[in-house]
Amino acid sequence: MKHPLTALETRLIGVLIEKQITTPDQYPLSLNALTSGCNQKSNRDPVLSLGEQDVQAAVDGMVRRGLVLEKSGFGSRVPKYQQRLCNMEFSELQFTPQETAIVCELLLRGPQTPGELRSRAIRMAPFADVSDVETALEILATREPHPVVRKLPREPGRRESRYAHLWSGAVDEVPAPLPVPAPAAMPGAVEARESSLEQRVRQLEEQVAELSAQVAALQRRD
């Protein structure tokens, strides 16, 4: 990408692509809906607490760069926004549904293994097994003239290597982190339970993804 996305712009584009696929009747998104999508607790890493002012400033910059289009519905005075980065009529980036779902998940949750991507991206596109994800990743990683993803070195303790998107520049050129809200000094019992539950859900998702990858590998051997 000629002009790499910031971490906040990455989240915005990811949300717009996701909602375009999963809730087309509510797309394009108002500023309020876009902010809510950025701060959504599910399918996001990290979980954020952005204000509309932060989102508006970032969206305005993306509108000027031609990455986002401001569009108001018929009879509506509320500005709404849609992404122009991929799969648009005049966009250079045209992806299959599977490729789009994978890129979207990488934008929303950062680097992930093929198994993790299948378990999370299947809500946006069909994947018969992990090999479908691996095929799409290979196409994205060798795309000309600019690759879209990159395979990262396998980390200790992991069975699979993770993949990262390249829309924020080279993987070693990490963008400034998103403003994750600081925890309260004395969190209440509800907040503590939610944090614990989210952690357990994330661990279960990773375990399911790993088991799915193992089952797929065994099936390919048969």
Burial state string for 67-97 with b = 16 or more CB within 10 A and e = fewer than 16: bbeeeeeeeeeebbbbbbbbbeeeeebebee
pTM: 0.77
Q: What angle do CA 67, 68, 74 make, to 5 degrees?
A: 150
* Contact predicate 112/61, CB 8 Å: no
Structural domains for the chain: 7-83 (1.10.10.10), 97-221 (1.10.10.10)
Residue in the block written with tokens 């080279």: 170
Other beta carbons within 10 Å of 210: 17
* Contact predicate 148/103, CB 8 Å: yes
DSSP 167: B
Report d(CA 162, CA 137) in Å as an integer: 11
pLDDT tens readout for residues 12-56 = 999 999 999 999 999 999 999 999 999 999 999 999 999 999 999
Give SS3 for 40: coil
Give SS3 for 83: strand
Return all residues near 18 (Cβ < 8 A) that are at least 6 apart.
Answer: 37, 43, 104, 108, 124
Return all residues near 132 (Cβ < 8 A) that are at least 6 apart.
Answer: 98, 118
Report d(CA 4, CA 164) in Å as an integer: 14
pLDDT tens readout for residues 142-197 = 999 999 999 999 988 888 999 999 999 887 644 455 666 655 554 554 454 555 66
pLDDT tens readout for residues 76-90 = 689 999 999 999 988
Q: What angle do CA 127, 149, 200 make, to 5 degrees?
A: 60
* Contact predicate 19/100, CB 8 Å: no
